Structure formats: C-alpha cells, structure tokens
C-alpha cells in the first residue's frame, strides 16, 4: 500500500465572548460531550501534571457518516490563553493544535489545526474515493462545535 497522505484541517471560530471564558470551556474536554454534538465520549486515561501536561485523554467522535473515530491525545504544550498542542495516537495519528486570540472588537478567535493520518485500514483503503467525504465530515463536526459553543454561551438561541 502507498504511504498514507496526511489530512490537514484548519478551522477558525469567531466567538463573541471574552478569551478567558472561551479558554476555560475548551480546556475542559471532559465536558465536551455535554454541549458539542459529534463528541460522543471523552475519558481521562492518564492524568497530567497540574496544568494537564503529559496527560492522556481518549476521544470518541461521530459525524454524519456511519462510523466512529476513537483516539488518544497527549497534551504536550499549554501556554495559558494562547495555545494547546498535543499528539494523537490510536485510530488517528498526528498532531492537534488550538490557538486563541482576543480580537480588538472583543471577539475571541479560535484556530484549530489537525495534521493527522488515519490508522483504520478500511479508511486508508478507500481514501482515494472517500477523502473529500471524510474531510466534509470533519468540517461538519467542527461547525457543530462552533454553533454549540455559541449556544452554550447564549450567543445563539
């Protein structure tokens, strides 16, 4: 089989809320399944230090497609109110990054970057056909995240 081509996803959210409020919600992933459609489960596998560094968390996601992805993330870097960076392993392998920036108008810009490969054989085998659909599925789950975060904050009904 040919080497796997990595997926690169870049998502930007604009949230009309103070950066510390947005940061606090995003940095509590165990709560994501409560408000973020598409996040089915989040479980702490290994606790990290007092800032969560080196901790391992398992995530299970499901978009509109009839499959789930489960993978573990290890938090490698945390700069308060600026960024989070981790490595993924399991059914996804690669890197995930979150960046936070307060805009002059008080809106918080959130940038999420994923550079991953899939470890599921069927996904890799069918990627030449289904890659655009897998990418759409990711964009949809991230759109749900933005919408539901805004609902949680009372910005959207």
Domains and CATH numbers, the chain: 11-152 (3.30.530.20)
C-alpha span between 145 and 95 (Å, rounded): 19
Q: In DSSP terms, which residues pair with 73 in a beta bridge?
A: 57, 88
pLDDT higher than threshold 70 for residue 2: no
In this prediction, residue 124 carries a pLDDT of 80
Contact status, residue 46 vs residue 55, Cβ threshold 8 Å: yes
> Model pTM?
0.92
On average, the pLDDT of the chain sits at 94
- Give whole-number Cα distances, 8 to 131, 132, 152, in Å: 11, 12, 28
Q: What is the pLDDT of residues 32-73, one digit of tens each?
A: 999 999 999 999 999 999 999 999 999 999 999 888 999 999
DSSP, collapsed to helix, strand or coil, labels residue 113 as: strand
C-alpha span between 136 and 156 (Å, rounded): 23
Identify the weakest region by mean pLDDT among 56-60, 68-72, 94-98, 126-130.
126-130
In this prediction, residue 4 carries a pLDDT of 66
Pairing relationship of beta strands 56-61 and 69-79 according to DSSP bridges: antiparallel
């Amino acid at each position: 089989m040919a080497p796997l081509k990595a997926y690169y996803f870049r998502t930007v959210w604009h949230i009309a809320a103070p950066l510390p409020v947005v940061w606090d919600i995003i940095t509590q992933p165990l709560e994501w399944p409560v408000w973020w459609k598409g996040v089915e489960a989040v479980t702490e596998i290994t606790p990290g230090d007092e800032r969560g560094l080196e901790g391992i968390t398992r995530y299970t996601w499901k978009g509109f497609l009839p499959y789930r992805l489960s993978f573990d993330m290890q938090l490698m870097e945390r700069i308060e109110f600026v960024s989070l960076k981790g490595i993924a392993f399991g059914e996804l392998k690669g890197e995930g990054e979150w960046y936070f920036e307060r805009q002059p108008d008080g809106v918080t810009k959130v940038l999420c970057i994923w550079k991953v490969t899939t470890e599921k054989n069927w996904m890799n085998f069918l990627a030449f056909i289904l890659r655009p659909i897998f990418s759409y599925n990711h964009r949809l789950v991230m759109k749900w995240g933005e919408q539901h975060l805004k609902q949680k904050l009372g910005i959207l009904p």
